[in-house]
Amino acid sequence: MKPIAAAFLSTVWLTGWLLAGPAMAEAGDPARDARFVEEVSRAGLARLETAERAIAKAGDRRVRILAERIIEDQRPINEELSVLAGDAGIDTATLEAPSEPAGDLSALSGAAFDKAWLKAEMAAQRSLIDLFDRQAKEGADASLKTFAANHLASLRDHLDIARSLGDELGSAASPE
């Protein structure tokens, strides 16, 4: 190959590589997908557990209704995520919900439980919304990106309901 042709091809290759580098980075990091699946799987299991506890211990009927809605919405999310994770080669079978920290909600009931649960639920919702939003924008796996984008509205709706209910019950929960 002549030196000019070789230099031209090298330049074309280098330019393509330099241009593809940012595009590859924008496509996302598969490790981020695995972290997303793990964090959301654990959070989903925890949400189901705490919502079930809210149904049993809440003093206000509206808190129980919100907990029922969270369970109704979260179960299919968990199932869908499990299927998508399997398709992406990410194992979720061994994941468990995180254990509750000391001073958990189990010692509370009635109005005190309602306020504490709503405050914890709002914090969990904000964290989930952040995770889903980042995955929707930066994930590598297209199916997981779509999954995250599709469920953001439901998560935001749960947050809005919990915030509104918390305000009505005087939970000292403030919007972020």
Question: Would 71 be classed as within a structural domain?
Answer: yes
CATH number for position 135? 1.20.1260.10
Question: Would 18 be classed as within a structural domain?
Answer: no
DSSP state of 58: B
Domain range for 111: 29-169
Question: Would 116 be classed as within a structural domain?
Answer: yes
pLDDT in tens, 33-45: 999 999 999 999 9
Q: How many domains does the chain have?
A: 1
First to last CA, the chain: 63
pLDDT in tens, 123-167: 999 999 999 999 999 999 999 999 999 999 999 999 999 999 999
Question: Would 80 be classed as within a structural domain?
Answer: yes
Question: Would 175 be classed as within a structural domain?
Answer: no
Question: Would 86 be classed as within a structural domain?
Answer: yes
Query: Do 139 and 145 form a contact (C-beta atoms < 8 A)?
Result: yes
Q: Which residues of 114-141 are buried (b: 16+ CB within 10 A; e: fewer)?
A: bbbbbbbbbebbbebbebbeebbebbbb
Question: Would 16 be classed as within a structural domain?
Answer: no
Question: Would 3 be classed as within a structural domain?
Answer: no
pLDDT in tens, 62-108: 999 999 999 999 999 999 999 998 888 887 766 666 665 434 788 88
